[in-house]
Amino acid sequence: MQKAGIIFAAALLVIPAVSQAKTLDELLVERGVVAKGTDSGSDMSAGKVYYNKGTRVDFPDSGFTFGINTQFITRYEYTDVDGATDENSQFTVESARVSVSGSALNKEFEYKVEGDFVDSPSIADGWLKWNACDPMWAKMGRYKTGIARQYNNSDWKLQFADRSFVTNEFNFGRSEGLSIGGNMEGFSYGLAAFNDAQDAANTDHLYVANLRYTMGDMDVYSEGDVDNSADHGFTVGAAYAISENDAAEDLDVMNIDAMWKYAGWSVAGEWFSSDDDAAIDQDGWYAQAGYFIVANEVEVAFRYNDLEDISDGWDLGVNYYWWKHQLKAQFNYSQRSDDASDVDTDRFILQLVAWT
């Protein structure tokens, strides 16, 4: 493992080594991977194993970290559609994932590989990130595109069992791409180019820009105030995406979101607008609020969703937390009305979530 760490560090330093004409030993000393006067092939200090939001292994003297997380989500769902002869009642496994992540060269580089094992094994995420300096990083690989804060939340950090159907309508999913971004005095920004799912020939791209301001110590991508915040936390963000495609019409999507948390209370919402050259513009929004009626344990939440001229609906949720978002049970009742057919759909969901 220790020699593998040296080899990995050497691989990351291949380009600088060529350009600067320095030996590998000199570069490892310069980056702090080994101490001056130490043979790069010599034994390095033992790693430290501990739990911190997952199982972690650190090699403090060599600047390498390694971690493993598992995610498992299972549910029972009952669905009743007006006019349907049969109701739907089923048990499902929604998510079964293993994630490997870590850092190299004292967190100058970070990486993540996450596999999804529901139905058939596949790669959900896989990326390498270079933290060039405090206000700037670069990231390349496969990961979520930037439209919709709620979509960019991990499944296990959601306040309801499902994302709003408005969020599902406007986000662009995951894709392979390159992005740059950074953080400065409460502000964060991001610019990205991804493969365009509309373009089978892979000649066009999806471009995304993000800007966000966050006040207070809060996790922007965690819904509900599971930490029972002693101070007010607030975030507001905006995103714009353009899907350019020579074989189809361009699609522009704009997104604005906001979230507030304090003392067990949480309020969040997003507004979306899309413009397709070949179709009518589409707007949609959702707003949700939650409160812990028993601090750190029992939360009630309500959400309203509106996809203009297509459908609207609401969700009622009761969540029980054994261990914040890492281990919880969620009970949801949802109703959705189709504007064209005037058909209502009722859903009951009991969901168990584990993330370690």
What are the domain boundaries of the chain? 1-44, 45-355
Burial of residue 183, with CB atoms counted within 10 A of its CB: 0-12 exposed, 13-18 middle, 19 or more buried: middle
Q: Shortest CA distance to 111 belongs to which of 137, 145, 72, 135?
A: 137
Instruction: Quick: pLDDT tens for 87-121.
Output: 899 999 999 999 999 999 999 999 999 999 998 89
Question: Which one has a higher pLDDT value, 46 or 226?
Answer: 226
pLDDT over 60 (residue 318): yes
Identify whether the C-beta of residue 114 lies closer than 8 Å to the C-beta of residue 98: yes
Residue 33: is its pLDDT beyond 70? no
Report pLDDT for 276.
Answer: 82
Q: Mapping DSSP to helix (H, G, I), strand (E, B) and coil, where does residue 272 land?
A: strand
Instruction: Give pTM, 2 decimals.
Output: 0.83
* Greatest mean pLDDT among 46-50, 108-112, 182-186, 196-200: 108-112
β-strand partners of 65: 58, 103
> What distances in angstroms separate CA 188 from CA 32, 120, 152, 214, one per listed residue?
29, 36, 15, 8
| 30 C-beta neighbours (distance < 10 Å), count | 13
**Domain 45-355 belongs to what architecture?**
Beta Barrel (2.40)
Mean pLDDT of the chain: 87
Question: For the segment 256-311, what is each residue's pLDDT rounded down to a tens digit?
Answer: 999 999 999 999 999 999 988 766 789 999 999 999 999 999 999 999 999 999 99
Tell me whether residue 242 is exposed, middle or buried, using C-beta atoms within 10 angstroms of its C-beta: 0 to 12, 13 to 18, 19 or more. Answer: middle
